[in-house]
Amino acid sequence: MSGPEKIGEFISIEREGRIATLRFDRGDRINPLSVQLMRDLTAAARSLRDDVSTSAVVLTGGQAFSGGADLADPEILKRAEASLLERREMLRVGPEMCDAWEALDQVTIAAIERFCIGGGVALAVACDFRIAGRGAHFRLPEIPLGMNMSWHTQPRLVNLIGPSRAKQLTIFGERVSAGKAETWGLADEICEDGEALAVARLWAEKVAALPPVAVRMAKRGITQAATALNAVSTFMDADQFALVSTSEDQREAVAAFLEKRTPKFTGR
């Protein structure tokens, strides 16, 4: 195994044979996605895109996979004061990260421990496979917080788990256990807690043992067939987010969350 390659402050990539393992780790229990970390994850995916020596990429977090976008990040907080034009550009960082990971021709495998929330789910479903620890869970809190689910995620969820379950996961914002996620097709294998990375690497080793050109062609063909209409259903994601972020319901949802009370929504 080669020594780790660093990208930005929180990303390391280790290569062994035809397998690359990328870890993004903020060093805390939430492992949130700051704007800079998302840019670095995008840059990492784009650098791997040209790597013909790698057949499989394992993506893993730190103590947890990720709690989603870092809402305390000063760069995210700047959006509130930005013009609509500036805000539209700022909102590209999340979907561009997910699109960059989906665009990889290598097989991508997310190793998920503890939890995968919000933007963490968006990133995980941009990968080909998801291996989860038995105690892990998935959750999309955006709708209960008065936001839309963006980052080009909804059609990817429909591709994986069908429209009804995609609606359950997205609209209710409730935890989906690893076991239920496997039943739904959101997770591909459940393992003992702490073993997700090791099991993901076993999947990667199976990929690495196969003819790399044939694997890449098969992956790309299947992905294109499954996602052919995704772009036409998500091109307004950022504008929808910009709209709902100005609503009274969104402010009420956040206030109720912070005050630990039941929100009162009015549709305004």
What CATH number corresponds to the domain at position 252? 3.90.226.10
Identify whether 72 is part of a domain.
yes
Give residue-wise pLDDT tens across range 108-151. 999 999 999 999 999 999 999 999 999 999 999 999 888 888 89
- Domain extent at residue 65: 5-194+211-259
Identify whether 154 is part of a domain.
yes
Q: Is beta strand 129-133 parallel, antiparallel or unpaired with respect to 189-191?
A: parallel
Q: How many angstroms separate the CA atoms of 66 and 124, rounded?
A: 10
Write down the pLDDT at residue 2.
Answer: 57
Rounded to an integer, the average pLDDT of 92-111 is 96
Taking the model in full, what pTM does it have?
0.92
Specify the amino acid at residue 133.
G
Give residue-wise pLDDT tens across range 167-207. 999 999 999 999 999 999 999 999 999 999 999 999 999 99
The structural domain count of the chain equals: 1
Give residue-wise pLDDT tens across range 228-239. 988 888 878 877
Identify whether 147 is part of a domain.
yes
The count of residues in the chain is 268
Sorting pLDDT into bands at 50, 70 and 90, what band is 157? very high
Is residue 39 classed exposed, middle or buried when 0-12, 13-18 and 19+ CB atoms within 10 A define those classes? Answer: middle
Identify whether 266 is part of a domain.
no
Write down the pLDDT at residue 127.
Answer: 98
Identify whether 201 is part of a domain.
no
